[in-house]
Amino acid sequence: MIKVKTGLVCVGLDGERNDLGGQFHEAAKRAFKNIGIEIVNPDSTFTLTGEDVKDQTEECLSSGAQSIVYLAGTWLLACHVVDAVREIKVPFGIWGIPEAASFSSVGANVLHGTLDEMGISHWLFYGMPDDRDVLEHIENFTKAAAVKSSLAHTRMGVLGGRAISAYPTAADPVQIKKIFGTEVEHIDQMVLLKKAENIAEEKCQALAGQIREKYGSVDVPEETLKKCASIYYALKEIIEEYSLHMVTVKCIGEFMDSYCSCCVALSMLNDEGYICGCQCNLNALLSGYILSALSKEPHFFGDVNMVDTKEGAARMIHCGSGPGKLAESYKDIDIVEQYEYMGAGRGACTLFCLKEGDVTFGTLGRKNGEYVMNIAKGRAFKKPKEELKAVRTWVQAFIRLQCDPMEFYRNLRCNHSVFGYGSHEEALVMLCEMLGIQAITY
- 320: confidence class by pLDDT, cuts 50, 70, 90: confident
pLDDT of 321 reads 87
- 1: confidence class by pLDDT, cuts 50, 70, 90: confident
Q: How far is 122 from 116, CA to CA, in rounded Å?
A: 8
Half-sphere exposure at residue 229, Cβ-oriented, CA atoms within 13 angstroms: 21
Summarised one tens digit per residue, pLDDT across range 114-140 is 999 999 999 999 999 999 999 999 999
- Our CA dihedral for 222, 300, 365, 247, rounded to 10 degrees, sits at -50
Summarised one tens digit per residue, pLDDT across range 61-88 is 999 999 999 999 999 999 999 999 998 9
pLDDT of 185 reads 97
Phi/psi for 415 (5° steps) reads: -65, -25
- 41: pLDDT strictly greater than 80: yes
Mean pLDDT throughout 404-414?
97
Domain range 5-151, CATH architecture: 3-Layer(aba) Sandwich (3.40)
Summarised one tens digit per residue, pLDDT across range 170-204 is 999 999 999 999 999 999 999 999 999 999 999 99
Three-state DSSP state, 358:
strand
Summarised one tens digit per residue, pLDDT across range 342-393 is 878 889 999 999 999 999 999 999 999 999 999 999 999 999 999 999 999 9
Domain residue limits, the chain: 5-151, 155-295+303-440
Burial 391-410 (b: 16+ CB within 10 A, else e): ebbbbbbbbebbbebeebee
pLDDT of 384 reads 96
Torsion 253-256-257-258 (CA) sign: positive
Phi/psi for 387 (5° steps) reads: -70, -30
- 330: confidence class by pLDDT, cuts 50, 70, 90: very high
Class of domain 155-295+303-440: alpha beta
- 260: confidence class by pLDDT, cuts 50, 70, 90: very high
